[in-house]
Chain A
Amino acid sequence: AQTVTQSQPEMSVQEAETVTLSCTYDTSESDYYLFWYKQPPSRQMILVIRQEAYKQQNATENRFSVNFQKAAKSFSLKISDSQLGDAAMYFCAYKIDDNDMRFGAGTRLTVKP
């Protein structure tokens, strides 16, 4: 079974600083997809960034980037120039082909002004 582990229940960052959220996963597959979702207090799930396992290049979306280490099965999210609006729960997720998405336990990010 595939599992997704987020070892940081809570993280805190100063506004304008950089923070990294960690995620590891367990799989025997070679082709899969990884995602980071943000869930603000509204509870709406918002896709932050996605990574295809076959791509070696790390995905980047503006202030958000990932460090994808396939051999280590690690998929961390780096948020640069943190903003107050970045405060939310962040979920790492894993998916194979047409199968459903599996989520980690989440990391609550607090941004201090």
Chain B
Amino acid sequence: GAVVSQHPSRVICKSGTSVKIECRSLDFQATTMFWYRQFPKQSLMLMATSNEGSKATYEQGVEKDKFLINHASLTLSTLTVTSAHPEDSSFYICSARDSGQHEQFFGPGTRLTVL
């Protein structure tokens, strides 16, 4: 299957700082990328969907000014957690899909810890 990478795999930051997480599709063009959040022992909750070159569509309850998503190319999407707080600590997973395909390929996730 196709490969999706995420960087960094783990990040620890101080409260009030911003953190950027990168999601890359390595061997296909990701026309659509999805960002999920997963709390311990819970399921994946969709945060937002982004299409290359367009503004992201955020799920209800997700603050777009806090979770900035950029999908500027067909192989890269970034999620920036602005002014992070301890409650933002979570596991963030991206997935990517090529146009016309139904399968989503998942990145390995990023564990964010905000002190």
Contacts and interface: CB of A to CB of B under 8 A. Distances in A.
Nearest to A33: B102
A100 B44 CA distance: 12
Interface stretch (B22-30, B61-69, B79-87, B103-111): B103-111
Interface residues of B, number: 18
Interface string A22-64: 0000000000010001000011110100100000000000000
Contacts of B91: 43
Contacts of B32: 98
Contacts of B102: 33, 50, 95, 97
B95 interface: yes
A107 B63 CA distance: 29
Nearest to B106: A45
A103 interface: yes
Nearest to A98: B32
B34 A103 contact: no
A100 B58 CA distance: 12
B108 A105 contact: no
Contacts of A11: none
Contacts of A101: 34, 46, 95, 104
Interface in B13-66: 32, 34, 38, 42-44, 46, 49
Given A33-B102, A43-B91, A91-B43, A100 B108 contact: no
